[in-house]
Structures are given as C-alpha cells and as structure tokens.
Amino acid sequence: MRARALKNDKKIIMVEGEYIRLVKKGEWEYVERNNCSGVVIVVAVTREGNVLFVEQYRPPVDRIVIEFPAGLVDDFESAKKETVITAAKRELFEETGYRAGRIIKLLEGPVSSGLSSDKVTMVKALDLEKVSEGGGVDNESITVHEIPLKSVGQWLKEMREKGYWVEPKIYAGLYFLQ
C-alpha cells in the first residue's frame, strides 16, 4: 500500500479549543483532540456471562446513547503516558464499578477517519469483580446495564425502540464475543 500525499500537506490549526482543535491540511478539514493520545473501548463480560453497557446523555447528538464503557487515554495530568490497558481498567472502574483481572487487546483503528484523527483501541475485559456502583466521575451521569449475552440482541432492539441510540461500535465488539 502507498500513502498519497495531499497537494498541500501543511497543517493549519483553524480553531483551538480546550479539548479539540479544527485543523486544515490541504483541502481537508478535520477534528483533532488536543488532550489525549487515543480512545479505549471496553467490551466487558462478567463471570456470569453478562455484557456490560453504559447509558448516558450525549450533548453532540442530543440523545441518550447505549455504549460500551469507554474513555480517553492519558487525558489528565496524572495519567500522562498512560497505557491503553491502564486506561481501560480505569474507565471500566469509573463507569461500571468493576475491576478487570485481565484485559486483552482486540483491535485498533480510526473512529471516523473522514472527520477525526481519533484512534480507538477496543479491548476485552475479563475476570471482573464488582467493587463499587460506578456511574462515572465529575459531571458524568452513567447508568450501567448488565445484560446476558444471549439477550443482548433483543435488549438493544428494545433500547432503539425506546428512542435511545445504540453506538454502532457495539456490534463490532459483540463480534469478538462469538
């Protein structure tokens, strides 16, 4: 494979925000995070075979969204140079109250390569132990759902019928649970 260079590969920062920036490179305009090195998505399965999902309101889409636990890698000062595995354990605990005994890296790639430079790593969390209620930190308001793997398809359908959006990356994660 060969990479094709853009006509003008000079990167211009058009707008710099607290967490993101709008960049222009050649003819392309895209969004770049300026506060982290990536995103981690955690496909978590309890010892009983339940899959963990989180529900939270997402202002950019003005909807409640069903997602896997997820978050940013090295997004605050005390977590600089944080590994993806460490971030996965931290996010799983903050959002769901579970600690993972094992984390297995599943895949890595772009989230929305036509809009954003974000790189996502999807991991599988196993040997879980419930140690707190979860629910997020600071201004997060997260509801945790534990759904038996055999019921996930029907449950996601019911959530869509209630008007919730289901994050499409869930279906990629479920592939790894087959």
- Does a structural domain hold residue 143? yes
State whether 31 and 108 are in the same domain: no
Within this chain, do residues 65 and 137 fall inside the same structural domain, yes or no? yes
CB 54 within 8 A of CB 67: yes
Kindly indicate the confidence band of residue 76, based on its pLDDT and cuts at 50, 70 and 90: low
Q: Is residue 126 domain-shared with residue 161, that is, in the same domain?
A: yes
Q: Which residue has the higher pLDDT, 140 or 84?
A: 84
For residue 46, give the CATH number of its domain: 3.90.79.10
CA distance 11 to 135: 39
In a domain, 73, yes or no: yes
Residue range(s) defining the domain that contains residue 58: 38-175
1 found inside a domain: no
136, pLDDT greater than 90: no
Give residue 169's pLDDT band: very low, low, confident or very high (50, 70, 90). Answer: very high
Contact between 148 and 69 (Cβ < 8 Å): no
27, 106: one domain: no
Q: Are residues 98 and 146 in the same domain?
A: yes
- The pLDDT tens digits of the residues spanning 38-60 come to 899 999 999 999 999 999 999 99
pLDDT band per the 50, 70, 90 thresholds, residue 140: confident
Judge whether 55 lies within some domain.
Answer: yes
Whether residue 1 has pLDDT greater than 70: no
Q: Mean per-residue pLDDT for 136-165?
A: 93
Same domain, 148 and 104: yes
Q: Do 93 and 46 share a structural domain? A: yes
Please give the tally of structural domains in the chain.
Answer: 2
In a domain, 2, yes or no: no
66 dihedral zone (left: phi>0; alpha: psi -120 to 50; beta) = beta
